[in-house]
Amino acid sequence: MRILDGKMNNTERAESITEALKKSRPNAKSELTHKNPLEFMVAVILSAQATDKSVNLATPSLFEKFKTAKDYGSASVDDVSAFIRSINFYKTKAERITKACQYLVANFNGKVPSDVSDLVKIPGIARKSANVISQEIFNVVEGIVVDTHVTRVSQRLKFTKEKTAEKIEKDLMNIVPKKFWKDFGVQIVLHGRYVCLAKNPKCLNCPVNKWCPSAKF
């Protein structure tokens, strides 16, 4: 039964949806394999327009070869590319990784910073990636992660009509209570990946279908 009778505002719906998704997926977190902040940053760069599964298949040998930001920063693009050829746009991503790590060495003593304002200064790290890194690794929450899944699900939930990640994030930050920003982002990413699919969404098996105006039964 849908709860869309007008008695709930968007913030109340967002709270209910987040809580329901947390019950459905209580241990939700990024599915990128990593052991430290640097590995996670590299994996995030590799994950653009690629599946987490494909990234996780490529990174073990990469992480075995390159241990520090200095290792990546002093390597050639071809050196890094050799380990990630199975990933889309591997040469571009190899260049981004080397430049990002050179920046870390020059500005942060080779360490990954925790604040979004610092992370977005790193070559190859846009706001979405910065939010992911700061929240997943440091539990620093300064916004809401907006990727293709969050974009699609948020539009279906009628939380936004915007098309760009920046504007969608602003809409969501105005709707979702701050205490839920991290949970909302990671839960909606996974919900979009496994349930609210781009084609043929699994509405019948959706744990939040009663709050969704786009649900089809």
151-205 pLDDT tens trace: 999 999 999 999 999 999 999 999 999 999 999 999 999 999 999 999 999 999 9
Considering the domain boundaries, does residue 181 fall inside one? yes
Domain end (from 111, 138, 165): 138
Read off the pTM.
0.92
**Catalytic residue among 67, 71, 147, 170, which?**
147
Binding site per annotation, positions for [4Fe-4S] cluster: 196, 203, 206, 212
Which structural domain, as residue segments, surrounds residue 107?
37-138
Alpha-carbon distances of 190 from 24, 29, 117, 172, 181, rounded to whole Å: 11, 9, 26, 17, 15
Domain end (from 84, 114, 138): 138
Q: Which residue has the higher pLDDT, 155 or 8?
A: 155
Q: What is the mean pLDDT of residues 86-100?
A: 98
Asked if 88 and 46 touch (Cβ cutoff 8 Å), the reply is: no
Query: Per mean pLDDT, which range of 95-99, 110-114, 195-199, 213-217 is the poorest?
Result: 213-217
**Catalytic residue among 5, 53, 128, 167, which?**
128
Considering the domain boundaries, does residue 5 fall inside one? no
Q: Are residues 123 and 155 in the same domain?
A: no
Considering the domain boundaries, does residue 46 fall inside one? yes
| Residue 171 among the catalytic residues | no
Cα(76)–Cα(72) distance, rounded to whole angstroms? 8
Domain end (from 123, 138, 153): 138
Task: Compute, in degrees rounded to 10, the torsion defined by CA atoms 7, 197, 150, 122.
Answer: 170
| Residue 147 among the catalytic residues | yes
Considering the domain boundaries, does residue 196 fall inside one? yes
